[in-house]
Structure 1
Amino acid sequence: MKSMKTAVVAALTLGFAGEAIATEWNVSVWGKRRAFTEHVEKLAELVAEKTDGEFTMNISYGGLSQPKENLDGISIGAFEMAQFCAGYHRDKNRAITVLELPFIGVNTLEEEVAVSHALYEHPAVKEEMAQWNARILMTSPMPQYNLVGVGEPRDTLDSMNGMRVRATGGLGEAFKAVGGVPTSVSAPEAYQAMESGVVDTVAFAQHAHLSFGTINQATWWTANLNPGTVNCPIVVNTDAYEMLSDDEREVLDSSIDESIQHYLDNYAELLARWDDVLEEKGVEKVMISDEELAKFREVAAGPIRDQWIADMSAQGLPAQELYDLVIATLEETRASN
Structure 2
Amino acid sequence: MKALRRLVISALLSLGAAGASQAQEITLRFHSFIHATSYQQIKFFEPWCEKIKGQSAGRMVCQIYPSMQLGGSPAELFNQARDGIVDIVYGNPGYSPGSYLAAEVFELPFMLNDVHNASRAMWDVLGDNPGPEFEGLRLIAIAPSDFPIIQTTSKPIRTVDDLQGVKLRSAGRYGAKVLEALGALPIQMPAGEIVDSLNRGVIDGAYLPWSAVGLLKLNETMKHFTDFGDKQQRMYTSVQIVAMSQATYDRLSDDLKKVIDDNRGVEPSVQFGDAFESTAVADKKAFAEEGADIHVLSDSEYERWRKAAEPITDEWVADANKKGLDGGKLLEQARQAIAKYAN
Q: Same fold (TM over 0.5)?
A: yes
Tell me what 2:263 maps to.
Answer: 255
Aligned position for 1:308? 316
**Percent identity of equivalent pairs:** 20
Local SS of the residue matching 2:86: coil
Counterparts in 2 of 1:17 and 1:114: CA distance versus 1, 3 Å: closer
Is 2:220 the counterpart of 1:211? no
Describe the superposition over 1:148-183 as per-residue Cα deviations: whole angstroms up to 9, x where unpaired: 221111222222222222221222111111222323
Partner of 1:140: 143
Match among 64, 70, 82 for residue 75 of structure 1: 82
Distance 1:15 1:185 in 2: 55
* 1:156 partnered with 2:159: yes
Aligned position for 1:53: 58
- Relative to structure 1, the CA distance from residue 254 to residue 175 in structure 2 (aligned partners, 3 Å threshold; closer, same or farther) is same
Query: How many angstroms apart in 1 are the aligned matches of 2:128 and 2:262?
Result: 20
**Which residue does the alignment assign to 2:296?**
287
RMSD of Structure 2 on Structure 1 (CA): 2.6
Deviation at 1:212, TM superposition (A): 2.5
Would you say the 8 A contact 1:42–1:262 is kept in 2? no
Q: 8 Å contact 2:166–2:185 — kept in the other structure?
A: yes
Q: Distance in 1 between matches of 2:185 and 2:110?
A: 19
Q: Secondary structure at the match of 2:143?
A: coil
Q: For residue 306 of structure 2, what is the amino acid of its counterpart?
A: R
Q: Distance in 1 between matches of 2:90 and 2:180?
A: 27
2:70 maps to which of 48, 64, 79: 64
Please show how residues 205-244 of structure 1 align to structure 2 within 5 Å: 205-224=209-228, 226-244=234-252
Residues 34/140 of structure 1: CA separation in 2 closer, same or farther (3 Å cut): farther
Counterpart of 1:273, as a letter, is A
Report the CA distance between 1:268 and its aligned residue. Answer: 5.5
Letter in 1 for 2:220: N
CA change 1:187–1:95 in 2 (3 A) is farther
| Equivalent residue in structure 2 for 1:172, among 176, 183, 198 | 176
Give the C-alpha shift of residue 263 in structure 1. 4.1
Q: Unaligned 5+ residue runs, structure 1?
A: 1-13
Say if 2:78 and 2:91, in contact at 8 Å, map to a contact too: yes
**What is the aligned counterpart of 1:23 among 19, 23, 26?**
26
Q: 2:192, 2:45 → 1: CA distance?
A: 19
| Structure 1 counterpart SS, 2:332 | helix
Deviates more, 1:32-41 or 1:311-320: 32-41
CA radius of gyration, larger in? 2
Report how far residue 55 of structure 1 moved: 0.8
Task: Quote the Cα distance in structure 2 between the aligned partners of 1:187 and 1:81.
Answer: 24
In 2: Cα distance, 1:288 partner to 1:313 partner? 34
**In 1, Cα distance between the equivalents of 2:76 and 2:204?**
26
Assess, with a 3 A threshold, how the Cα gap between structure 1 residues 83 and 185 changes in structure 2: closer, same or farther. Answer: farther
Residue 187 of structure 2 aligns with an amino acid whose one-letter code is T
> 1:96 & 1:261 partners in 2: Cα distance?
17
Residues 78 and 247 (structure 1 numbering): CA distance in 2 closer, same or farther, change over 3 Å?
same
Map 1:121-136; keep pairs closer than 5 Å: 121=127, 123=129, 125-130=130-135, 133-136=136-139
Cα distance in structure 2, aligned partners of 1:194 and 1:78: 38
Q: Secondary structure at the match of 1:17?
A: helix
TM-score normalised by L of structure 1: 0.84
Q: Which moved more, 1:22-31 or 1:221-230?
A: 221-230
In structure 2, list runs of 5 or more residues that go unmatched. 1-15
- Does structure 2 retain, via aligned residues, the 8 Å contact 1:202–1:214? no
Deviation per residue, 1:81-109 (Å, 9 max, x gap): 111222221122122110000111x2212
From the superposition, tell whether residues 25 and 187 of structure 1 become closer, same or farther in structure 2 (CA, over 3 Å).
farther
1:293 positional shift: 1.8
CA contact (8 A) 1:141 1:232 kept: yes
**Distance in 2 between residues matched to 1:190 and 1:60, nearest whole Å:** 25
2:287 to 269, 274, 278: 278
User: Which moved further from structure 2: 173-182 or 155-164?
Assistant: 155-164
1:90–1:61 CA distance, 2 compared to 1 (3 A): same
Q: Which residue of 2 aligns with 1:109?
A: 115
Q: State the shift of 1:234 in Å.
A: 1.0
- Give the deviation of 1:196 after TM superposition: 4.7
CA distance in 1, matches of 2:157, 2:296: 10
Relative to structure 1, the CA distance from residue 176 to residue 15 in structure 2 (aligned partners, 3 Å threshold; closer, same or farther) is: farther
8 Å CA contact 2:178, 2:312 repeated in 1: yes
Given that residues 86 and 96 in structure 1 are in contact (C-alpha distance below 8 angstroms), is that contact kept between their aligned partners in structure 2? yes
